[in-house]
Structure 1
Amino acid sequence: MSTIWVFPGQGAQKVNMLHDLPQTETVHAYIARASEALQQDVLLLDQAGSLKSTYAVQLCLYIAGTVSAALLVEQQMKPDYVAGLSIGAWAAAAAAEVLSFEDGIRLVARRASLMQQAYPHGYGMTALIGADQTSASAWVAEVYAQTADVYVANINAANQIVIAGSDAAMEQVARIAKQNGAVAKRLNVSVPSHCELLLPQAYALEQEVQKIDTQPPRIRYLSGTTARLLTKQDQIMDDLTFNMSRMIDWESTVQSAWERGVRLQIEAWPGNILTGLAKKIFTEGTVMSFQGTRLDTLIFEMHKEKDRSI
């Protein structure tokens, strides 16, 4: 049996998410490294006012994810796989040592700035709960034919589809969804991620990505976009660079992990959104999150899963 560490995307953020990390030397060192790389105090980013911007949110999630992995690694823990949803993929790649923590945080800052500058207001993402992909795609197509400003962005689960686009277009889709018995919930995301609206920004980021040194993953990396195992660093960097403009298929990613023998999923800090999404697939496995779980409990479960595979 195998273990996967998963890293959440936007929507998982919370006030004080960096301040609430364990107060250890490792955590303090990562916070200091992040602040030095960005030439700003990153502990100012996890406050309510700051988290209104995708810039602060993405940086906080990247830092929290990589720190979560580091806390387990220093206890000689290592998963069989990593995967991340959206910005979480950057933390997953850093955990797999495809790129350095510092290169990652500078690229995440650039990514977030490009996205925020392109869509400072009037756009975002909405979850359609109780809707399958076929229905959601049909509702989006109906509105798209009129406005061309809304897209299917995430397949989070069989009955949870996320759309992205302009506020007005998403409201039209939400009305249709509610008429068909689904629930529409506006997400705490200020940009239209995972659709072609961000393709120019992805190409701009690619210019920066080509300047850094990378290496093959030291932990197997599952793409949250394609649900495929990517083994070459160029493939992974392409996955990271363009995931802002590509649809996320998280349901298939979790299913792929299960089919590869993964029976323990641990979600990085903060939140437990990915933990909830995995429960329907990990029916005979274990899903856990850093939030609300002691570190020694996570370590115990990893040891137990490792013993099962011997």
Structure 2
Amino acid sequence: MSSLLAFPGQGAQQPGMLHQLPDEPLVRLHLQQACEVLDEEVLALDSSEALRSTRAVQLCLLIAGVACAQLLIARNAAPDYVAGLSIGAYAAAVVAGALSFADALRLVALRGELMQNAYPSGYGMTAIVGLDLGTVETLLAQVNSPALPVYLANINAPNQVVIAGSHSAMAAVAERARASGAGLAKPLAVSVPSHCPLLAEPAWQLQQAFAQVPMQRPAIHYLSGSSARLIADPERLRDDLAGNMCRIVDWHSTLQTAYERGVRLQIELPPGAVLSTLARRVFVQGTVIAFQGARLDTLDALLRQEVSLRS
């Protein structure tokens, strides 16, 4: 039996999410370090107004994920695997020991700026639930054009995907999806068209900045949310992180890979529990729990039980 720490992506953010973190010395230390690296008060980033910024959202997700994961590890043993959806991959890489927290903060700040500057308005992402992947791909092909760009972005479950593109293009696909029997076609709280070719240029710019950042071989198994494969080589991991903003997220296959490799405990780092809902469809045996809303001693007990079963 193995354990997985899963880090959510953009869309999971909540107002006050940094203020709601456990009042623990290690958490406060990470908040302080973030303030020093970014030269700003990071607790100002989680207000409703501030979270309209892609940069603020991504920084909050990084800080919350890393701080809480390191808190769990300090109280218990390290997990066997880490994985992150989109921006969550950066927190996963930090916790795996492949990327320093300081470098991740600087890269994520740049990542958010590049993404929001490329598409300041008129674009986003939409979730479609109740249709299979083939049907959604057919609908995308009917709408996608230079004037109405729209692409597949996330595969979250066999009948749950996310598309990205212009608002008008996504609305056209959503209308067709509902007519085809979709139970839900809902815009997400994401203001940029992530995980599609529209972000190829910002991804290339981030790649240039990434070239100057040292990467290490991960000490904890790192599962890519894009390829659903383990990555140990530092250069491949660098490419995975820098390019994930313009690559499809295959989270369903990532969970399947984890389960096939013996993972029976998934802990979702804050905020929220979206990844826990998705994991329960794959982890037919085992335990899935979200950090947010759980007691620390409950999480401790689950991790200790997993370690004892492993040894």
CA distance in 1, matches of 2:142, 2:22: 48
Distance 1:43 1:111, change over 3 A: same
Counterpart of 1:270 in structure 2 is 271
The answer on whether the counterparts of 2:139 and 2:176 sit within 8 Å (CA) in structure 1 is: yes
The answer on whether the counterparts of 2:89 and 2:241 sit within 8 Å (CA) in structure 1 is: yes
Counterpart of 1:223 in structure 2 is 224
SS at match of 1:230: coil
CA distance in 1, matches of 2:147, 2:261: 41
The code of the aligned residue for 2:6 comes to: V
SS at match of 2:75: coil
The answer on whether the counterparts of 2:82 and 2:222 sit within 8 Å (CA) in structure 1 is: yes
Counterpart of 2:8 in structure 1 is 8
Counterpart of 1:57 in structure 2 is 57
CA distance in 2, matches of 1:261, 1:73: 20
Q: Deviations over 1:252-303 (max 9, x none)?
A: 0000000000000000011000000000111111101111101111110111
Q: How many residues align?
A: 310
Instruction: Indicate yes or no: 2:35 matched with 1:20.
Output: no
CA distance in 2, matches of 1:147, 1:131: 25
The answer on whether the counterparts of 1:68 and 1:268 sit within 8 Å (CA) in structure 2 is: yes
Counterpart of 1:212 in structure 2 is 213
Q: Deviations over 1:107-145 (max 9, x none)?
A: 000000000000000000000011211111111111014
The answer on whether the counterparts of 1:16 and 1:46 sit within 8 Å (CA) in structure 2 is: yes
CA distance in 1, matches of 2:102, 2:264: 32
Counterpart of 1:68 in structure 2 is 68
Identity of aligned residues (%): 52
Shift of 1:148: 4.9
SS at match of 1:5: strand
The code of the aligned residue for 1:75 comes to: R
CA distance in 2, matches of 1:220, 1:307: 19
Greater shift after overlay, 227-236 or 137-146?
Answer: 137-146
Shift of 1:87: 0.1
TM-score in terms of structure 1 length: 0.98
CA distance in 1, matches of 2:76, 2:280: 27
Counterpart of 1:78 in structure 2 is 78
Instruction: Indicate yes or no: 2:193 matched with 1:170.
Output: no
The answer on whether the counterparts of 1:77 and 1:299 sit within 8 Å (CA) in structure 2 is: no
Q: Which runs of 5+ in 2 are unaligned?
A: none
TM-score in terms of structure 2 length: 0.98
- RMSD of the alignment, in Å? 0.9
Counterpart of 1:288 in structure 2 is 289
CA distance in 2, matches of 1:104, 1:198: 20
Q: Structure 1 residue runs of 4+, over 3 Å off?
A: 145-148
